Structure 1
Amino acid sequence: MLRINRENLRSSHQLIWFLIDFLMLGLLIINLAFIIWDSIYSFVAVQNLLEENLPAVNAIYQPIHERFIFYDLIFVSIFLTEFFVRWGYSVKAKVYDRWYFYPFIHWYDLVGCIPVGGFRFLRALRIISIIYRLHQYKIIDFTSTRLYQFVSFYYEAFMEELSDRIVLKVLSGVQDEVKRGSPLFERIQADILFPRRSMLSDWLSERVALAAQHGYIPNRGALRVYLEDRVDNALKQNLELSRLKYLPVVGPTIQDTLENAVGDIVANVIHQILEDLASSSNHAFIEDIVNVMLPEPGEEKGADQEQEALINLILEVIDAIKDQVRVKHWRANLP
């Protein structure tokens, strides 16, 4: 049900205009109902039906129907008066940059006042604009109405079905291009990625350093303990090393010393690698990786098998995307 927020209406600085909006809204609804009824009454079959079943109603409305244009002009005069009043207010308040902008922006108000044929039904646009303005200022909330929810649900369902078909068509076209050996991917590598190798290296270097600083440095103590524990377990399971304990006198000491040394070496190596990654010195390493991944055009050509594998990978990824696009999310909201 449509509710009016009276608090916002009272506290608004445009109370008079909102009251005029409500008045115009009521008159527009009455006028459109009058137009629709008169259009129906224009059929001879309807007039005969009323004459047979409700002759009193027919006798009362027949003179009104004959002078329909006169009664409609009464509504038109009210609408035009309100239009020119608002135009004058917009000029005085300098709502628009030029005084003559108002009739162009609110053209539907003016055209709807033409009392000829289908122009009359353009007054429905005025109803929509008034409701939208009242909703925008939080005077009413039409999103809570059943009509809006009904229309919104089927509109979203229609748009999802339409967009899904378009996306599927586009993805199928991309797959066809890939199957035909489109040079798109070579162009992406040669014209887009390769000229930006330096920027990619800088960005990756910064991201890797940031990840190492936030991920490793606060937890390096726990990581060292974990690495040493894993190395100790691996060395204890090694048959050659376990035989050292059978050496007389010094066997167990050599075994323990060797386990501690290996664990310390592994932990220090991992620690040094992550320390380097967390510093700016990782830039040269990242740059080498980027240069290998993005060689200069014409420098390296992938084998046919590698290229075919890449094409199959791309096609499978697109198929996965198409399967996801086919999922109808609007059906989950069905009552």
Structure 2
Amino acid sequence: MTQNTQQQNKKSKYHRVNPNSWSFKLFLVYDTFMVFIIVFNLFCLCMNFFLMSNLGSWFFNSIHLPDVLSFYREHLHPWVITTEAWFIIFLIVELVVRWAYAIINKHHQRWFFFPFIHWYEILAIIPHLRFLRLFRAGVIAYRLYEMGYQIIPSSIQKKALFYYRVIMEELSDRVVLTVLDGIKHELNTSTTHKDLISNVVQHHRDLFTQVLAEILQENLTKELRAERDLIAKNVGQIVSQAIEDTPELTQLLRLIPIVGSRIEQQIQSIGQRLGENITEGLISPLAYPNQSTQSKPNFYLDISNRITRIEIENNEKLDELVRSAVFESLEAIRKQVKVKQWQQIMQEQDQATE
């Protein structure tokens, strides 16, 4: 999906909004104002926290400006506290007005849905949860972005998305590696995996049978069709040679005058042809299983059923095979997880800039 298509899909959410109407322009100005005032409020509170802390005192003393800090604490700090109180009152009134507006225009199916949908705005009124105001500013900015307005520069968006992916990749890698180490330790220190393997096989015997039958049918039929004539010819030659190597039959035929040798040749020819026909008859159901009638058994399915009935418990070779396959799979996953995708992206970006 191209970028233009994505933008069209985002704008389709607001297809009923007329961008040229005064209500829309007022809505746009109000959202922009709210983003600005929320960010400014949080900036002022952060600076106030810094200036009123011991770290702020140390900083201003180190740059030899203690009078500036004293002036702020005596004259500006009370104003910041008062402004914060008025801002909280403003948020409460603004929330109530918007709730009433939502009820009048029936924005939600029930009138009491509004506080649950805008829970972060209600919690942001609490002084100790002021950071949620920034969340509201982000929601407004994202909504404006969906409407096609570039609130945040694309360069900042790309950097923010890149660092978000870095953090998520590092966290997910740690989780995956911990899980893999736990699985490997469990396989090394316990025998529960044997029961697990047995249960898996028991629950999937029918599927194993079907898959094994399909594999045998798909591969063996091709080989049997390709080698059918050669196998029949070889079996016929073996039968003919077996007749020739039977001294009792040779001596008995030689007792018949004149036609004895002729009968011996005919018997060898008949035996060879009989061996070829029998071999072709035995191979046909295996080489062309789909042409067999319903009364004839499916040899591949029968073979698969017999194989899957084999008991796997107390089988050291099978246990060793499974352990080896699992450990190699875990190690392969570990190597893949250790690959830092964000480092590769940075290298590609550096190469592109060079």
**Structure 1: distance between partners of 2:328 and 2:145:** 41
Which residue among 308, 316, 321 is the counterpart of 1:313?
Answer: 321
Residue aligning to 1:273: 286
Which AA in structure 1 matches 2:305?
V
Q: Distance in 2 between matches of 1:22 and 1:256?
A: 100
Cα 1:289/1:207, change in 2 over 3 Å: closer
Alignment of 1:213-292 (within 5 A): 226-227=226-227, 231=231, 269-276=282-289, 282=297, 286=301, 289-290=304-305
Aligned-partner residue type, residue 22 of structure 1: T
Instruction: Give me the whole-angstrom Cα distance separating, in 1, the residues matched to 2:130 and 2:210.
Output: 66
Aligned to 1:124: 134
> Which residue matches 1:100?
112
In 2: Cα distance, 1:19 partner to 1:6 partner = 23
User: Could you say which residue in structure 2 is the equivalent of 1:63?
Assistant: 75
TM-score (norm 1): 0.64
SS of equivalent residue, structure 2 residue 125: coil
Change (3 A) 1:23 1:208: farther
* Cα deviation, residue 280, structure 1: 5.8
The structural deviation recorded for 1:146 is: 0.9
Identity among equivalent positions (%) equals: 16
CA gap of 1:292–1:155, structure 2 versus 1, over 3 A, is closer
Q: CA deviation at 1:39?
A: 1.2
1:91–1:274 distance in 2 versus 1, CA, 3 Å: farther
Task: Say if 1:9 and 1:139, in contact at 8 Å, map to a contact too.
Answer: no
Residues 108 and 122 in structure 1, CA contact (< 8 A), matched pair in contact too:
yes
Within 2, Cα distance between the matches of 1:36 and 1:264?
95
Match of 1:249 in 2: none
- Gap runs ≥5 in structure 1: 245-253
Residue deviations 1:157-216 (CA, integer Å, cap 9, x gap): 2211222212320242134322x7854445555xx53xx86xx27x9559957996xx69
1:276 Cα deviation from its structure 2 partner = 2.8
Aligned residues: 304
- Secondary structure class of the residue paired with 1:98: coil
Tell me the secondary structure at the aligned position of residue 339 of structure 2.
Answer: helix
Which amino acid in 2 is paired with 1:149?
Answer: F
Check conservation: 2:232, 2:276, Cα contact below 8 A.
yes
Pairing 1:146–2:154 present? no
Contact 2:115–2:122 (CA under 8 A) maintained in structure 1 = yes
Is the counterpart of residue 162 in structure 1 residue 175 in structure 2? Answer: yes
Q: 2: distance between equivalents of 1:65 and 1:8? A: 44
Q: Which has the larger radius of gyration?
A: 2
Residue deviations 1:200-241 (CA, integer Å, cap 9, x gap): 27x9559957996xx69xxx9x97873357559979x99x98
Deviations 1:122-169 (A, max 9, x none): 322223433454566676697951122023123212211222212320
Matched with 1:173 is 186
CA deviation after TM superposition for structure 1 residue 78, in Å: 4.1
Identify the match of residue 294 of structure 1 among 284, 309, 323.
309
CA–CA separation in structure 2 for the residues paired with 1:284 and 1:108: 66
Residue 315 of structure 1 aligns with an amino acid whose one-letter code is R
Match of 1:326? 334
Q: Is the 8 A contact 1:103 1:110 kept in 2?
A: yes
Say whether the 8 Å CA contact 2:123–2:132 is kept in structure 1: yes
Q: CA deviation at 1:99?
A: 1.9
Contact 2:224–2:287 (CA<8 Å) still a contact in 1? no
Measured after TM superposition, the shift of residue 31 of structure 1 is 1.3
Q: Residues 28 and 123 of structure 1 are in contact (CA less than 8 Å); yes or no, is this contact kept in structure 2?
A: yes
| CA distance in 2 between partners of 1:269 and 1:259 (Å) | 15
Q: Which moved more, 1:273-282 or 1:81-90?
A: 273-282
Write the distance in 2 (CA, Å) between the matches of 1:77 and 1:232.
97
Ranges in structure 2 where 5+ consecutive residues have no aligned partner: 1-6, 245-266, 348-354
CA RMSD of aligned residues (A): 5.2
Q: Deviations over 1:249-285 (max 9, x none)?
A: xxxxx99999999777756644432433577665686
- Tell me the residue number matched to 2:52: 42
2:226 maps to amino acid: Y
